[in-house]
Structure 1
């Protein structure tokens, strides 16, 4: 099915991580976890309404307002500052634990259209989940500063 340019697009990714949901929730809400999973240049709060800042190089700032924190089940952010294609989009993480392993569903919703940047972000969110998995399972993620791709 082909989408028209006016459609809203969403990114959805799934990763199974072999640790309890509480550990993943902590990784996604703490400075320590997010600095190992996403970027080492960040300011992170653990309070609904607060704004987390993530830097990817000198001129690339992303601000995510925390919309929801439901331990250890769900996290939602609203992008308030970043690339124009991200502003107004939401990123959420749903954590579903069963028998000591957790399915993480990442959704990046409300894109205005499918562009090359959207496609690149789709790939990079998959890499984010891989980084989250290796951090939670092995103790070392793959933050932006260590990526070579």
Structure 2
């Protein structure tokens, strides 16, 4: 059984602004992880450090202002092989962001905790894009 985390959020900002927030080091550090090494380049390995946890995500797809996709290549066991994606769609002056972390092997307690954490980070991303201030870890 595979499980996917999915969160949709409407952001009062352009897809271009949301795309920059999820692809650039400066953007990601502003809403998700303060200790980030990231580039908006396919095959680049983004590194996110949360205390003693190190996440490495290979950038696998970039469609400007539309889709960003990362594959987890190094992290906690349950994250390895999962795919994190951000799909952006312009809707009446806002952006509908469809976030997913797909390919979990099972809906475990870690999966449940990450669902909650991702929801908080999507709120942080929305705040960052709308007001310039997010709440990164």
TM-score greater than 0.5 by the shorter chain: yes
Q: 1:99 Cα shift?
A: 1.7
- Per the alignment, residue 12 of structure 1 pairs with 6
2:21 aligned partner:
27
CA–CA distance in structure 2, aligned partners of residues 98 and 16 of structure 1: 9
1:5-59 deviations in Å (ceiling 9; x for gaps): xx111110001000110000001011111001111101001110110000000x2
2:134 is the counterpart of 1:141: yes
- Match among 32, 37, 45 for residue 43 of structure 1: 37
Question: What's the TM-score once normalised by structure 2's chain length?
Answer: 0.98
Who is 2:84 aligned against?
A: 91
CA root-mean-square deviation: 0.6
After superposition, residues 31-110 of structure 1 pair within 5 angstroms as 31-57=25-51, 59-110=52-103
Q: How far 1:139 moved relative to its partner? A: 0.7
How many residue pairs end up in the alignment? Answer: 137
Matched position secondary structure for 1:11: strand
- When Rg is computed on C-alpha atoms for both structures, the one with the higher figure is 1
Q: Which runs of 4+ in 1 moved over 4 A?
A: none
**Local SS of the residue matching 1:92:** strand
Which blocks of at least 5 consecutive residues in structure 2 are unaligned? none
Partners of 1:110 and 1:32 in 2: how far apart? Answer: 28
- Once residues 13 and 46 of structure 1 are traced to their aligned partners in structure 2, the CA distance between those partners, rounded to angstroms, is 22
- Offset, 1:109: 0.5
Gaps (5+ residues) in structure 1?
1-6, 145-149
Which of 110, 113, 119 aligns to 1:120? It is: 113
Give the TM-score of the pair, scaled to structure 1: 0.91
